[in-house]
Amino acid sequence: MNPDFLAWSGNLQARIETVLERLLPDPQHTPQTLHAAMRYATLEGGKRVRPLLAFAAGEVVGADPARVEIAASAVELIHAYSLVHDDLPCMDNDMLRRGKPTCHVEYGEATALLVGDSLHSLAFELISAHTLSDTPERQLEMVKLLALAAGSRGMAGGQAIDLVSVGQTLTLPELEFMHIHKTGALIRASVLLGTYCGSALDDTALAKLDHYAKCVGLAFQVVDDILDAEAPTATLGKTAGKDAENNKPTYVTLMGGARAKAFAAELHSDALDALAGFDSAQRLRELADFIVQRQF
């Protein structure tokens, strides 16, 4: 990767970590165990891809980074909550996340459930309590965007489809539909929320950025499926091979590894094409490269 991109992303990853540390409840405040568990589930882990996308989109529209960091934190809190709930015994029953025991293993199932609930609530508190856009109408649209991305027509709906698809053979359109919701919805929200923090774009430009986000969101899942099949647990930071073990439909089981990699490359190309004409989208281009070129 470009050293300049690595420096940019490293600086922002450190920044978002500091912001999240500030925004999450102090573990000394009652209920201490819940607050400690919220921090455990959110801090010190992950690539922060969604916040990076928000910051990169913000650059396109000249957004104030102080606004973007709040929107990016809200998205990351939704993502962290989803991982806590996904790992629960009633979902994927996973023991390892980001290289450490999952939240329910460390704190118990009941606390993990409350952690997810609390992170979800905190995300909406942040996005509604700070001035993030130039008009109240646009900020209300940001709240709506995040709600749709997290709910039954977005991430939660995709997870519901995933649960009922275990053991089934899905068609490619069915698999895409599931992951456009389960993984892609929150990635799309990251790009759009970063965009809404700055100068307003016309409908055509906004549609192009949305298409970029759809492509990288789907590519992210394709690459995740490949890594789950081919990378060791130590590299992933979570249990490798869980998809095959749980008999889940994936791009690898449907297409095979080689075709899945080719599909990821196609999505990468489509994402870059969508950015044609944007002078300040270099970071979005580099993030598309990063998402697709993660080590197989």
Q: Are the CB atoms for 48 and 76 separated by under 8 Å?
A: yes
* pLDDT tens by residue, the chain, 296 residues: 788 999 999 999 999 999 999 999 999 999 999 999 999 999 987 899 999 999 999 999 999 999 999 999 999 999 999 999 999 999 989 999 988 999 999 999 999 999 999 999 999 999 999 999 999 999 999 999 999 999 999 999 999 999 998 888 889 999 999 999 999 999 999 999 999 999 999 999 999 999 999 999 999 999 999 998 886 655 556 565 566 667 788 999 899 999 999 999 999 999 999 999 998 999 999 999 999 987 54
The pLDDT of residue 237 is 60
Where do runs of H (alpha helix) occur along 130-182? 136-150, 155-164, 172-179
* Chain centroid, CA 224 distance in Å: 12
What is d(CA 238, CA 99) in angstroms, rounded to the nearest whole number? 6
CA distances from 265 to 39, 261, 270, 292 (A): 36, 6, 9, 7
Four-residue CA torsion sign, 53, 54, 56, 61: positive
Four-residue CA torsion sign, 229, 233, 235, 237: positive
Q: For residue 125, what are the contacts with CB-CB under 8 A and spacing of at least 6?
A: none
| Residue from 76, 97, 280 nearest 107 by CA | 97
Query: Domains (ranges, CATH) in the chain?
Result: 3-293 (1.10.600.10)
DSSP code, position 24 = S
Q: What are phi and psi of 116, to 5 degrees?
A: -60, -45
What is d(CA 207, CA 190) in angstroms, rounded to the nearest whole number? 14
The pLDDT of residue 296 is 43
The pLDDT of residue 229 is 86
Four-residue CA torsion sign, 269, 263, 192, 123: negative
Q: Are the CB atoms for 216 and 267 separated by under 8 Å?
A: yes
Query: Any idea which residue has 């920044």 for tokens?
Result: 15
Q: Are the CB atoms for 98 and 132 separated by under 8 Å?
A: no
What is d(CA 266, CA 46) in angstroms, rounded to the nearest whole number? 26
Query: What's the token pair of residue 34?
Result: 């819940």
100 forms beta bridges with 97
